[in-house]
Amino acid sequence: MTTCPAILVAAPASGQGKTTVVSALARLHARQGRRVRVFKCGPDFLDPYWHALASGAPVYQLDLWINGEADCRARLAAAAADADLIIVEGVMGLFDGTPSAADLAQRFGLPVLAVIDAGSMAGTFGALAFGLQNYRPNLPWAGVLANRVASERHALMLKSSVRDPDQWLGAVMRNTALQLPERHLGLTVASEVGDALERLDAAADALEATPLGQMTLQDLQRWQVEFTGAEVPQPAAPAVKPLQGQTIAVARDAAFCFIYAANLDCLSDLGAELVFFSPLADAALPDCDALWIPGGYPELHAQTIAANTALRDSLAAHIAAGKPVWAECGGMMALFDTLITSDGQQFAQWGLLPGTVTMHKRLAALGPQQLKLASGTLRGHTFHYSTTETTLQPVARTARPDTDPLPDAGEALWQLGSVRASYFHAWFASCPEATVELFSRPAPVMEHQP
């Protein structure tokens, strides 16, 4: 059993400033020489880029369904063994989703810090804080922080509305300089923002003026949590790792950046050697036995992707040699013939799968999904703004956690030659056997004749 101060930062809804507060708190303590570990509740690719920059440590996702409780427990316990503070960012509103951030907090005894955008309220602030704390019995509670506050007088009004003065953790004033930049899928990746660290320092400075920001290491002990990851049974390491001797090339750049750190760990644990390349900048694939093209923003780089015909030819040669390709969401989009942006521009893509991808201004799909393969079922999620028209017929479809697969439900899994592609984002550690299957040569399927 290991103990460590830990909090889960939640909010009544999305857009309240959770990510900024979490990143500011992590940056503040990291600047003071403390070891901070940050986790993100739910299958989010973007917020962890900011958390990792702020904390200086890898960031992993925690989801009671996608990861499973044992995986979440083990990751928290491992972090607690060498951290001074653990911060978990919630997802959406505190009680939104199944499982929710509140479920995670209760399962592991994580005190909840509620961040509330108080810009348009006064006395109601206290009522909202009280409701979040007491809506569910026995929810661990740390306190409440007011965000985007107009003035010191406004802050006093908010503070006076909180029933228990000890739960008031301060007010962060409204300041557009503290906002992290966004685009259609969420926050802009931190590595693409030239002044990202300066923004985090400014946010940390603002937080430092609050009671939350002034807490010392001794003060943090009030949020001490016991983690029991040692008792979680771990599967025995196989004598021969199934991907031993295999080199997997991973696309990684501004267009293909939706990569779970846990997925890279899983591939390495299975014995694979990982090499990285940029489809935007490189003219050829590195020497490899299999290829993973993760999701990202091909729609923002469609012209550059179209112009890199040398990389396209290298991909075609890889596929012609029968070497496996697993393409997720944005990685899949670039494999089709054409991409149409939301404003109607058309760009030729790699043309390795027949069909057209069209971007929309609204979400096309969102939520947890599972993909059943011959060797097991992978868990993951879907989140995309595009739709696809193709003559290919799905070889399988994903399903939601609470339903049986239906003929026209879930995300399609398309296969052409050695390529498997889907909008589905897989969490590899949920089924290592199925992950090995993804990076092995698929059995041939009957090609659809249009």
Closest alpha carbon to 203 in 11, 23, 8, 31: 23
C-alpha span between 154 and 119 (Å, rounded): 9
Catalytic residue among 41, 288, 329, 431: 329
Identify the sign of the CA torsion 123, 128, 130, 131: positive
HEC string of the chain?
CEEEEEEEEECCCCCCCHHHHHHHHHHHHHHCCCCEEEEEECCCCCHHHHHHHHHCCCCEEECCCCCCHHHHHHHHHHHHCCCCEEEEECCCCCCCCCCCHHHHHHHHCCCEEEEEECCCCCCHHHHHHHHHHHCCCCCCEEEEEEEEECCHHHHHHHHHHCCCHHHEEEEEECCHHHCCCEECCEECCHHHCCCHHHHHHHHHHHHHCCCCCCCCCCHHHHHEEEECHHHCCCCCCCCCCCCCCCEEEEECCCCCCECCHHHHHHHHHCCCEEEEECCCCCCCCCCCCEEEECECCHHHCHHHHHHCHHHHHHHHHHHHCCCCEEEECHHHHCCEEEEECCCCCEEECCCCEEEEEEECCCCCEEEEEEEEECCEEEEEEEEECEEEECCCCCCEECECCCCCCCCCCCCEEEEECCEEEECCEEEHHHCHHHHHHHCCCCCCCCCCCC
Is 329 noted as a catalytic residue in this protein?
Answer: yes
Residue 10 CA, chain-centre distance (Å), reads 16
Count of Cβ atoms closer than 10 Å to residue 122 Cβ = 13
By annotation, the residues acting in catalysis are: 329
